[in-house]
Amino acid sequence: MYKATKVKRRRARKTLTREQVLELRDQLRDELAWLKRRLDKSTPAAFTDDFAQRSVRVVAALDRIRQGTYGNCAVCGEPIPFERLECVPDTTRCVTCRANGFTPSESS
């Protein structure tokens, strides 16, 4: 009994729960909607580029959620903590890889 609880807790801390993924998905969808509204309007080119790039990142994150690979670091494969994803839901790297300057081959 005690052992089962312990294992469950450890797993819950490492990988995202379904609720956490859904929460982050909503966050990403909100951001995408916001970016699309901005891109529809006549924004200066400098901002358009930034918004367009962010849109690509957000769409890629939503794709990863669909594929079931969301929440894992694209460099080392380790789960990214929920707290980090809450701040940067479209991130592809864990804090360690980001700090070390490691970039995944799929994006620059």
- Residues that bind Zn ion in the complex, under the rule CB under 5 A: 73, 75-76, 94, 97
- Tell me whether residue 32 or residue 73 sits nearer to Zn ion (CB atom): 73
Nearer to Zn ion, 61 or 94 (CB): 94
| Least CB distance to Zn ion at residue 68 (A) | 18
Smallest distance, Zn ion to C-beta of residue 47, A: 31
Least Cβ distance, residue 78 to Zn ion (angstroms): 5
Instruction: Name the region of 92 (left: φ>0; alpha: ψ -120 to 50; beta: rest).
Output: alpha
In order of 11, 20, 56, 93, the CA distances from 15 in angstroms are 6, 10, 24, 14
